[in-house]
Amino acid sequence: MKKIIFIVLTVTFVLNVDLPAQEKWKLSGQIRQRFEMDDKDFDSETNSNNFNLLRSRLGITFAPEEDVTAFFQVQDSRTFGEETSTLGDGSADNIDLHQAYINIKNLFDLPVDLKAGRMEVNFGPQRLVGAVGWHNIGRSFDGVIFNLRGKDYSVDFFNFDEVEQLEVGNTGDQNVLGAYGDFKLANSHKTQAFLIWQKRNPTESLSRYTLGFYANGKFGDLRHETEFAYQGGKLTSGGTELDVRALMAALNLGYTSGNMTITLGADYLSGDDDPGDDKFKVFDTMYATNHKYYGHMDYFLNIPGHTFGLGLLDMHAKLSATPWPKTGIKAAFHVFNANQDYSLSDGSTAKDFGSEVDVTIDHKYRANVSFVGGVSFFFPGEIFKDTRGNDTSSWFYIMSIVNL
């Protein structure tokens, strides 16, 4: 209840400041409602699980000085009917401070910008660090980013406090720090390089770095996207200290003709061929927006957990088109395989997780109003038949979005 009162008072204050001061303030917001029909249990005899999700965000941007801005955003995330009473006043647990940060440009008259506080973070294509906008809550980091920029480059140096135990000697704390750089090497091409270090105290439990690059560009109607990352360092699992040795690679080639684009590609995440040795060879996607890449039905959100530590090879074909000025259509077909053998219950081995079809339609109804809908089907392979079920699973959703 105190959180709700605070939000109301904040909005009331902003709406009642005098006219000259309003030029330094800007309100933003979004209400997003999504209905889902979930039949993902691989059992055709069961009925679907139908539910509605609601996410409401209210943001305030203010600029007290020319090079100083601040952003404050609160969020309510809920499922319809969770209060179980129409006379309930809601749960304070649904309301959160999603973002609150300051942004100071040209710090000390240097080509350096400072961003500090609680914030969404999207690095590159979000295969490793993303805000997961699809999620009904979304991801935020607490920390600081120093952006160093020049004529042909821009580099973010960051330190995020993921776990803070407030213990003497920082025992149990975990930080994510590193650098993500964007370099202008050629026109119509983007080149990025990064180093991400996950560090837990004591470092024997987790000290893993991810080093790699990302590039995309176009040659006329042809487009390419490439990303590569290597994970090294150490971590402790089951009381055993392991050396991390893992790889990720992605390649996509696209062709655009008129209002239609066809893309063919593959994503590779290494798996562990010998879980009993002292090497950890499973690539961890860390803070990625996996919904964007590995099928909309989200069977591979938690990697490596959802791949049984076997890695993932996702071969896909995608089509996007704009048949009408305000309407877009996207379709994707994925073939998912493990990179190591899975031992089935009958004693044989397999690498086939299954295949998935996703179709999405989005329509911009008004300037600030959009509708998005989609349907997906997953056809289980030998591994999913052995662990989940034999039948085709399905999923449908329709989403309404209103932006302030």
pLDDT per position as a tens digit, 324-366: 999 999 999 999 999 999 999 999 999 999 999 999 999 999 9
CA 86 to each of CA 1, 81, 82, 83, 304: distance values in angstroms, whole numbers, following the listed order: 16, 8, 10, 7, 41
- What is the C-alpha to C-alpha distance for residues 273 and 311, in angstroms, rounded to an integer? 10
Question: Hey, CA dihedral for 77, 82, 85, 90, is it positive or negative?
Answer: negative
Give the pLDDT confidence of 272-330 residue by residue, as tens digits. 999 889 999 999 999 999 999 999 999 999 999 999 999 999 999 999 999 999 999 99
* CA-based torsion, 377, 382, 383, 388: positive or negative: positive
Give the residue from 52, 3, 9, 59 showing the smallest Cα distance to 30: 59
Q: Of all residues in the chain, what percent carry a pLDDT higher than 90?
A: 84
Residue partners of 337: CB distance under 8 A and separation at least 6? 312, 313, 315, 351, 352, 353, 381
Q: How far apart are CA 199 and CA 161, in angstroms?
A: 10
Instruction: Kindly report the pTM of this predicted structure.
Output: 0.91
pLDDT tens digits for range 15-49? 555 545 556 889 999 999 999 999 999 999 999 99
Let me know how many helices (H) and strands (E) the chain has, helices first. Answer: 3, 19
Please check whether residue 242 is in contact with residue 236, taking contact to mean a CB–CB distance below 8 angstroms.
Answer: yes
Residue (of 228, 217, 211, 282) closest to 253 by Cα position: 217
